[in-house]
Amino acid sequence: MPLNPFEAEASGTFHVLVNSEDQYSLWPSWVEIPSGWKSVAEGSRGDCLAHIESRWTDMRPAALANAQNG
């Protein structure tokens, strides 16, 4: 049995989470959303991964990106 909830429920429903630093996370819908994160999309694992891939184009935390971009 997989210990990782992402592998255990690969065919289930997932959330796309975003934090205050504009970082994204794939999150199983049956797991409580952690403090500091909000759900911006919900769907299949593949749909959520596509959503993240199309939007999270800069891996730097927002504070760092803003400081480096002036």
Domain ranges for the chain: 5-69
Rounded Cα gap, residues 21 and 6, in angstroms? 23
The CATH code of domain 5-69 reads: 3.90.820.10
Q: Which residue has the higher pLDDT, 36 or 2?
A: 36
Question: pTM, whole model, 2 decimals?
Answer: 0.80
Mean pLDDT of 46-67: 90
How many whole angstroms from its chain centre is CA 17? 4
pLDDT at 5: 61
